[in-house]
Structure 1
Amino acid sequence: MDARAEELARRLAAAGVGQGHLVPLLLPRSVDLIATLLAVLKLGAAYALLDPDWPPTRLAAVVDQLRPPLVVARPGVASELSAPLWTAAEGGTSQSPARPTVAVRGSDACSVFFTSGTTGRPKGVVTPHRATARLFREGTFARFGRDTVIPLAAALPWDAFSLELWAALCNGGTGVLIDEPFLTAEALRAMVAGHGVNTAWLTSSLFNLIVDEDLTALNGLSQLMIGGERLSGRHVARFLDRFPDTALINGYGPVESTVFATTHRITAADCTRGGGIPLGRPVPGTSVFVLDDGRPCATGELGEICVAGDGLAHGYLGEPALTAEKFTDVAIDGAQVRVYRTGDLGTQDENGIIEFRGRIDRQVKIRGNRVEPAEVERQIEHLVPYVADCRVVPRWNELGSVFELVAFCIASRTGATPPDVPAILAEHLPAYQRPVAVAFVDSFPLTGTGKLDDRALLAGVPEAPAEHHHGPIDDPLVRLVAEEFAAVLGGRAVPPHIPFFGLGGSSLQAARACTRIGRRAGQPVPLPMLYEHSSAESLGAWLKSARSANAVPPPTGDIPLTSMELAFLTRHLTAPQDRAGYCLMTWHLDGRLDQDALEAAIATVHERHQVLRTAFHVDPRPHAEVTDIPAPPLELMDARPTVDEAVDALRQLFDEPLEPQDADLWRTALVPLTETRGWLFGLLVHHIAFDGRSESVLARDLSDAYAGREPSAAPPTLAERARLTTAATAVTNAAGRTERIREELQDVPQIHWPEQPGAGEAGTGHLDVTVPAAETARLDAQGAALGVSRFVVLLSAWADTLAEVCGQQDFAVGVPVAERTVPGLEQTIGCLINMVPVRLRGDASGRGEDGIREIGRLVHQAFSRSDVPFTDIAQGIGPATPGRPPVFQSLFALQDNPPPGLDLPGVVSTHLRQPYAALPLELHLEVWPDAEGALDAVLSFRRDVVAEATALNLLKGFHDRLALIAAGAAS
C-alpha cells in the first residue's frame, strides 16, 4: 500500500499537486481510493472525498469551493467540473521524478468534509491532521491495534468514514471494503465470518434496525461504536442482554469537532437513566464545556455544549463570517480558549459526564413533525383569554424522542372556573401540536440560575393513565394494528380508539402501515380501508370481517385485466399511433461496460417478471396470457457525437409500434457516444406493463443480474398478483360506492384554457422550474403547522393558480395513486396505479390557511375512495365536449418514487429523464424531489390545446404561490 501510494504521489506531484492544495477524490470505495488518499497526504495536501453519485451541480459547487489543481477520478468519468480530471492511468509511469520531501505539521489541513449549508450551498469543514490523529492515541476510548478488523462502510464524504479508515491504518489493523451503500445485517455477518471483523461503527438508526430485524448479525464483535442520533434505551438493553461482553460505545460529536468529541462505554444501568444514555467524557486531546453565554455552568446546570482542543476544524471553507460566529474564544479559568458552539444543550455531572438535553432553539419533533413550543405557547395565550402566561414543556420517551407536550398555565384571574383548554385547542391546532395535558399552576419554578425548571414542572404532573397509552388490548387483530401504527408513527403506544390521522399520521405513513399490517395479518389491506377504518379498533374489526376474502380461489385459466390495463389496451387498439402509453428510460453509462452481461441481464429481468412477456387480449373477453416470447435484443446502434443526438436516434428506433396483443412490450438499445464518451442505454416499455414505481424495480433487477448479485425474493406471478388484488378488493364494496362518486362528479365543469394555441401547433411542450431546498423545507414546515402533507401544500398552490389563470372556481384534477399496499407487490413491475379525481371548488381554490386545510380534506376524501377504478367512474360520465377526457383534463403528481439508478460494477451511470413524447391528458404538472431536498416542477402540455403563454403563466403562478406559502404569506 505504501509503495503504491508513493508512486501515485510522484505522479500527482508531476501533475501539479503540492503542499496546501485541497484535492477532491471522485472515486468509488476501493483500494485505489485509499492509496490515492495517502498519496495526497504525502504531498502535504488535503483530501476531500466526494460521492460519485452526487448530482453534477453539487459536485461542481464543491469543486469550485476547493479550487483544486485537479480532480482525481477513475477513467472514463465525463464531467463539467472547473478543474481538470486526473487518473492514475494518465499520470505517467514509474519514471516520474522523485517527489519533494514535505514536512507536515499536526495543524496542517488534512481533510475537508462537506455538509449541507443553510443557504443551500454545500459547507466545507476543513480539519487538521491532529484532529483525526488524537482519536487513536494510547488509552483512547476503544481498542485499536494490529488485530483490529473494521468495515469501511460509512458514506465516503462523512467523517465516520475517517473513523473507520484511520482506526485500522493508524494502528496496523485491517479495513474491509464493502460494495453495498451501507452496512446491512447480512454484510456484517459475512464479514465477521469471512474476514474476522471485530469492530464496527453503526448509526443509532441502523443499530436499531439490525437489533430489531437480525440481532444475531452482531455476534462476533468485540466492540461496537454507535451514535449520530439519540440512542434507544430499549434497543441498547436488548443488545447488552445478548452480548454483555461486547464493548458498546456511544459516540457524540459534530463534524466541526471531527468524528467524536465525547464517548461513553454503555452499561445496562444507562438504559434506565432518566436523562437517556449519556454522551460521556471527552476523547483524548479534547475539552468539552457546558457554557451559558460564555460562562461555565455549574454541575447539573443546563447550557450549550461547546468543544475545544485538537479536534476542532480550522473553520468553514471560504466563509470567514460563519467561522467567526461558530468558532469563538471564551475565557476558561482565566485563559482564552477557542471553542466550537454546537447549538446542543447539555449538562455535566460531578464526574464530568455530559448529558444531552436538546437544542437551543427549543425545536422538537413529534411523530416526525417539527414543533416549536413557543408557537404553541403563543397560541394558547391568544385562544384562551383565561390564560395570562403559558409554558409548554416536551416530555421525552425512552427512545430519546419527544412523544408529547405538556402545557403549564397561569390564570389571568382567580376564582373563575378554568375553561376546557384541550377542547379549544382541538379546534385550532393539529393533533401533534396539542398538549396531552394542561395544568394550571400558581407560578413557574425556576432553577438556581433563573431558568425555567422543566423537571420540576413535569414532576408535578402524573403520567397519562396507563390504559390510555399502554393498556392491554385483548383482541389480537386490534393489537396487531395498534402495534404497526405505533411502529410507523415513531414508537409510541397507540390508543386503539384514536384515528391514525388524528395521531399525526401522514398518507405515506398510512401506506407503510397498510403494507406492514397486511404482511403480518396475511390479509391485504388496501389504503382506502385505512382511510375508512382509521382507528386500530375499526381496522382490526374490518380485518376480522375480511378474513373470508382469503378464501377467494386463485384465477384459473385466463387472467383478468386490471382496469388500467384494459384502459391502455383499449387506447392502443383505437389509436395505434398514439405514443402517450410509451415509457422511455435512458442512462448515460461511462466505464468498462460488458455488453454481453447487459444483454444477459435484460434476459434475466424478462424471465423474472412475467408481465414483460404477457399478451393482453380483448377476445373473447379481456384477459392476459403469459407467453414464452424471448427477451428483446440489446440493439447496438451507430455511434452518435452527443447524448441529445443519441436520444433522437433512440426515439426513431423505438418509434415502431409495440404490440401488447403479441406480448411485444419492451425494447432495449445501446448507442456509443463519441464526443462525451461512454454509452447511452435506452429502453422503452408499454405503460400497460409499467408505472413510475416499476422504474426503480427494473433498474435494481437489471443491476443485480449484471453484477451477478443474489436477487431479492421473486415477485408474484401474474396469477398470484390477480389473486392478491382480488382478495384486496373483494370486501371493499367498490361497486356500491361507484354511483355516489359519479353523482358527485357528474356536473364538474371542464377546464377552460384562456388562450387558444396558434394554427398548426402540434406535439408536446415542456417547461420546468426549481424550488430550492431551503424553500422546500419552509413549505414542509408550513404544512406541518397546518397538519397537512407536502402533497396537499403543493396541490393547494396549483389549485389557486389554475383558478386564477383559467378564471373558474370549480374543476377537477387527476392524481395517479399507486396500488401497491398489498404485500408482495412492492417489488413488482406492472401498471399498478389508479387515477383518482379530486374536485376542487369553493375554499379549495382560494388562498390562505383555510384553502390549504380544505384541500387536505378533499384529498383525504378522494384517497379514501382510491380503490374504485376510475374507468368504472368514467363509464357513467360522458364528456361535455367530444374528444376531451371526462371529469378532468389535467394531471397533478408528486413523483416521489425511488430514483431508477443502475449499479453496474466498473460503470458510472446517470439516469437521464426524458420528456414525454405524447400526453393522454391536455396538461400535466409533475413535481420531482431531488437528492438535495429541492423540487423540480415540470409542466407538460399538448400544444394543439394549450397555448404556450398559458403554460408559462401557470408555471410562473405556481412557483410564485409556493414562495408566498413558504414565506408564511399565503393569505
Structure 2
Amino acid sequence: MPETLHGTVQALAGTAGDAVALIHGDRRLTYRELDRAATTYAAHLTKYEVGRGDVVPLLLPRGIELICAMLGVLKTGAAYANLDPTWPDTRIGDVLDQLRPKVAVTAGARRMPAPVWQALPAAEAALDTPTLAPVPVTGTDPACVFFTSGTTGRPKGVLSPHQATLRLFGPDSFARFDTNTVIPVAAPTAWDGFSLEIWAALLSGGTALLVEEPFLTPQALRDGARRHGVNTVWLTSGLFNAIVDEDLDALTGIGQVMIGGERLSPPHVARFLAAHPGTLLLNGYGPVESTVFATTHRITPADCDRPGGIPIGRPVPRTSVYLLDGDREAPPGEPGELCIGGDGLAVEYAGLPAQTAEKFPTLRLGGATVRVYRTGDIAVRDDDGLLHYRGRADRQVKIRGHRIEPAEVERQIEACLPVRRCVVIARRDDHGTVQDLAAFCIPTTPGDPLPGAAGILADRLVAYHRPAVIHSVDSLPLTANGKLDERALLALTRPEPAEPGPVTPPTDALTRLVAEVFADVLGRTAVDARTGFTDLGGSSLAAVRVCARLSTQLERPVPVSALYDHPTADSLAEHLRTTTEGYGEGGADVPRELPLSAAESSFLTQHLLHPDSLAGHCLGTWIVTGEVDHEALRQAVADVHDRHPALHAHYGHGRRGLYRTADRTGVPPMTTLPSAADVAGAVAAARAELSRPLAVTAGEVWRTVAAPVTGTATTVLAYAVHHVAFDGWSESVLADDLATAYRARAHGDQPQWPPVADLGRLHTIRTAHRAAAGTGDQLRRRIDGLNGLPELQVPAGAESGGPAQVTRELSAATVHALTAAADHHGQSLFQLLLWLYGRALAECTGQRDFGIGVPVAQRVDARIEHMVGCFITMACVRLHGRALGPDGAATAGRLIQDAMRDVDVSIPELVRALNPPRSGRAPLFQTIFALQNNTTPHMDLTPAQATFLRQPYLGIPTELQAEVWPHDDGLRLVITTDRAAVADDFAATLADTFTALATALPPTS
C-alpha cells in the first residue's frame, strides 16, 4: 500500500478508475478523473514554486474542486490547509500571517495578503494531462494543517503527516471501509472530522457524497441512503442527539454510525440501539494532534448503564495510549493524563517550537523512548483494558466537535470590545454536553451595557467561538475559597430574556406552525414572526431540530439552508408556501379512519382470522411487596388508558381495509382475584385470567388483574396487551406511566406527564415517514433478494398446540468473545448472533436457504418516544449459501445490512409482489430472531416495591421464535415454539447447537 494519501488515490485510479469517487449534487467524478484533475492542479501550483515543505491554504467551499485541490497540493509534495471561506477576515489574515504561503487557492477574487490562484473547474482540469515529475514524499511528511484553539488568543496550526490519516483506514481499521463504502461529507472543511469523512471514502475505493447543506441533516441522511446508498456516517454527539430526538428513523439502513467529538448521552445512545440493533455504533475519541481518532469503542446497550458513561475504548491501529501520573504510568483503576503515541501524532505546531516541545515530549515508558502528545484529558483504564474518559485537567471544552479554549475566546473579546476583563464559561445541558458559551464582561466604563457587542463579535469571531449570551457585569463573583463562582454567573443566563417589544403574531396557519416550532425548539412561549432565528437564540443544532420537525409535520423536506436563507417565521413560511406546489395552509385533512401500519395490520388480521388465539398477547407481571392502594391503582389504569391512543382507540375493518379511529373505548376494569396461598399461586391465577382472548374489535385492547397473597402485603399485578397496541419498548413506557399515575392518585392528585402525540399527529408523522422512506428501488431490491425463497422445514410437533420454551445461558466470557468477533468483522453483536442462529438452523434442518423475520423498531419521531403502541416493522433476512458456512460472517453481515437498508418495504407489500405458494404457513418466514435489548422496565410504587417477572409467552405469532436477552454480563437464549408445529426435541437440539456455535467461535474467526 502506498505510504501517501495521493499515492493511494493514484493507485486506485489505476486499478478502479471508472469507480465513482465523488458525488456533489448532479455531478460525478471517477477516480481516474479525480487523479487527472489533481495532476492538473499540481502542475499549476508548481508555477508558484510550491514544493515539499510548503503549506498551501485552500479557501474553497465544500465541493469537488476542493478535493481536487487537496490532492493537487499533495502531489507537489506540499501540505494543504483548508480554511473556511466563511471565517472572518481577521481570522483568515491571522492564519495566513502564520503560514506566509507562496500561493493560496480560492474560488473567487478575494483580496488576500498572499498570491492567489483561482481553482479550475474539476471537469475542465480532468481533461488536461500535464506531465508532472513525481515528488519523493514519505508517510512522515506533512499532509495537512488543522487550525485549532490556542490559549494565547491565536489559532495554532497542527501539521499532520500522511501516515496519521493512512493508519485509520487500512485492512486492520477500527471499522469497515472498502469499495462499498458510501459516506456523506458534511463536516466543516477546516476540521479533522472532514478528513475522517473524505479519506474514509478515497483511501478505500468508496464514494464520498459531498453534502450541500451547511451540515448533515436528517433529510440529507435519508436522501443519501435512498438515492446513493449511504451506509457509513460520522456525527458529533450533539448532532447525533438532535437526530435521535427529532428523526430517529433517518438513520435507518446505515450500517455504521461513528459518533463522538464530546461526551455521549447514554439515553440517546440507548434509544438509537433499541431502534437500530443491526447498526454498528462507534464512539470515537481523539484530539486533532493525533488526527481524528486515537481510540474507538463499539457501543453496546450495556454501555448505556455504566455509571461512568460510555467508554472511549481502545487504541486504533498503529496508535498507543498511556495514562500518566506525572511521568509515571497509572495502573488500571487509577486516573491519569491521557497521552498518545504512534503514527497519528502531528509533526509540530507550525512556528511554535516551545509549545511543540511542551505538548509533544519524548518520555521513557515501558523501557522504550516514546514521543507522546499530552492531551490534558483525564482517563482511567479498567481491568479489561477499556479506557473511560473522566474530564479535562484544564478549561478546554468541545462544542459540536470543535475544540475551544475559553482563554482564546476571552482574549479575542477583550481585543474587540471596550472591556477590562472577560470570562467565558461553557453552558451544558442535562447530559453534560456543552451547548454554547456565555461571556461575562467588566466594561471599561462602569455600567456600560455593551450595546451592539453581538454584532461586533459576529464580524470578528468564527461561529463556534461566538458566545450565545454576553453579560455586562460590575465584578466577578468569587466562592468562599476565592475561586470564580461560575454557578453564580451562569444563573444570570437562566431567565428567558424579555421579548423585544410586542410580538408580531403570525398572519396565517403556515406561519403560525413555523413560529410554534421555533418557540418549541427554543423553549419559549412565543416568538416574533419577523425576528431572525439566530436573533431569537437559535443555534445550528436548534436549526436541525426545527427543520426536522417541519419536515415531519409538513410531509416534505425542509433543508437547513432554507432556514439560513429565510431566517424569520414569516419569510420561511413564505418560502415554503411558494416552493410547494398545491400546498394548503391548513395542511392535509386527517381522515377519521386512520390506516394501520404494516405490523399493526398483521396483528389485527391474525386476530380477525383467529379471534381465540393468544399469539398476539403481550404479558407483563409484577410482584409488588408492600401495602397497595387498590383504588389508586384502578384510577392509574384509567389514567394510562386515557393517555395512550393505542390503548383507547377503536380498531376495525371496512371497505377501505383495516383502521382505527380516535373514538375512545371504555376503560377496562381491573380485576381483583381471590387471595392465593403463595406468590406462585397468585402468578398462576393472574396468568390464567389473562389467558382469555382479548376482544380487540369490541374495544378490549388490554386487561389488568391484581392477585393478592394471603397473609402478606404482597400483590401480583399483571396485564395483557394486544400486540396491535404494544411493543417491547412499550413495556417501560407503560410501567413508568402506571407508576406516575399511581403515586399521584395515592396522594389525591392527578398525574402530570409530558404530552404525547394524538392519533391525528401520529398519522401525519407516519405519512411523512412513508413518503420519505418508501421507494420503488427498495421494493425492487427486496423482490430480487427474496424471489424463490423456500419455506423452512422443521420436524412437526404434536397435535395439541400451545407454546413451549427452551432456555440456554451464554457466559460473560462467551459474550466477550462474541463481541470481539463482531468487532473483528466490523459488525454489531446482533448481526453476529443472527448469523449464528442461521448456522444453527442450517445444521439442524440440513437446509441452506431460508428466511428469518427480524423485528425492527420504528419510533420515527421524538413525540412518540413516550407512547405505548406497536411501533415496529418486520424485516425478512434471507440467509443462504456461503453465508451459512463457518466463514460466512461477512457474507451474512452484508445480507443482513441489505435487508435492514430496505426495512421500510413492508412484508405485506413483498407478499403481494412475490405471491409465494401458501401451505397454511407464514408466507416469507417461519421463524423470528430478536436481540431483546430494550431497557428492563421499572415501576416505582413507593412505598411499595415492584419487581418485574418475565413469564413465558401465552402464544407466539410464528412457529419458531428465538430471542437473546442480555442479563448481568451474559446472555440468555430463549427459544419458544408452537408445539403443534415444531417438535420439542428439535427446539432443544437447536438451542444446544446455537450455544455450541457461540461458545466455540474464535474471536477473530
The TM tier, using the shorter chain, reads 0.3 to 0.5
Q: TM-score, normalised by structure 2?
A: 0.46
Q: TM-score, normalised by structure 1?
A: 0.47
| Greater relative CO, 1 or 2 (CA 8 Å, sep 6+) | 2
